[in-house]
Amino acid sequence: MSPWALSVLGVFAAASFAAAPPASPKATPSPKPAHLLVVTVTKGFRHQSIPDLERMVASLATESGAFDVDYARTDDELAAKTTPAALAHYDGVVLASTTGDIPLADRDGFLSWIEAGHGLVGIHAASDTFHGFPPYLDMLGGEFEHHGPQVKVHVLVGDRAHPATRALGESFDVFDEIYQFKRFDPARVHLLLSMDKHPESGAPGSFPVSWTREPGRGRVFYTSLGHREDVIAAPWYRQHVLGGILWALGRP
């Protein structure tokens, strides 16, 4: 082939290459939303802020797109939705200020389900639940003992990198109902929030507010804050709980 012909072919090849559209990068598919069961059954004191907690978790689900929510608001719903077959459809459970011996279908099976790789999120009075069932209290990491009058406290952030606390800075003040705990061992939890003064006496010490645990392959997040409606509505609290939920679901 003549040099002239080769030159012409080169021009056509270059033009064809230039006209070809660039290859689009393959889009990474978003993970499917996790399924979260929100439990608000109570057998002891019932907090008037429970509807606020329900609405908050629902709005966090909508805004984040990372999970959707189902509810167990009655004894019958809770019993039906916590059988082994029913739990297979969920990735985690939120105990939103539950109290007393709530009627899970199988208490031991529920704990085994968490340990098998699912999430447990406890909010406020979740530590005032199952006082006569030590395995639950050990899994949660602490048991509600008492609280004094609602009070303003200074809360220290122990892990500023955790999804539940990285938006909170080094410390913050909050006015809420502040719990004291028994069956709490700091060596068995990862402490996220604490106080260095007793909320009632002001005596120095270390007093837990929020923490995580990892029993087996499961993840447990607990925050004792969230008694008051204005706390639940606060943007920082919403970020705190959202980070805890996403971490418990393994989606930080």
CATH number reported for the structural domain that contains residue 115 in this entry: 3.40.50.880
Structure tokens at 236: 């920082």
Neighbours of 119 (CB within 10 A): 25
* Measured distance CA(240)–CA(64) in Å, rounded: 13
- Going along 168-240, which residue ranges are E strands? 171-176, 179-182, 190-197, 204-213, 219-223
Q: What integer pLDDT is reported at residue 26 of this predicted model?
A: 54
Asked if residue 13 is part of any domain, the answer here is no
Q: What is the pLDDT of residue 29?
A: 57
Q: What pTM, to 2 d.p., does this model score?
A: 0.88
The Cα-based distances of 46 to 59, 124, 208, 210, 234 in angstroms read 22, 12, 23, 21, 21
Count of structural domains, the chain: 1
Element (H, E) at 69: strand 67-72
Domain-located, residue 148:
no
Domain membership of residue 16 (yes or no) is no
Give the Cα separation of 44 and 240 in Å (integer): 26
Q: Is residue 90 part of a domain?
A: yes
Report the pLDDT value the prediction gives residue 31, as an integer from 0 to 100. Answer: 79
The answer to whether 112 and 193 have CB atoms below 8 angstroms apart is no
Domain of residue 114: give its range: 32-143+210-248
**Separation of CA 210 from chain center:** 11
E-only strand ranges, 73-183:
92-96, 119-123, 143-147, 151-157, 171-176, 179-182
**What local confidence, expressed as pLDDT, does residue 28 receive?**
53
Nearest C-alpha neighbor of 242 from the set 41, 52, 29, 65: 65
Domain-embedded: residue 76: yes
Are the C-beta atoms of 39 and 8 separated by less than 8 Å?
A: no
Residue 63 resides in a domain: yes
Which amino acid is present at 65?
G
Asked if 199 and 207 touch (Cβ cutoff 8 Å), the reply is: yes
| Residues of the chain scoring pLDDT < 70 | 1-30, 252
Residue 169 lies in a domain: no
Euclidean distance between CA atoms 41 and 88, whole angstroms: 20
- Tell me whether residue 20 is in a domain: no
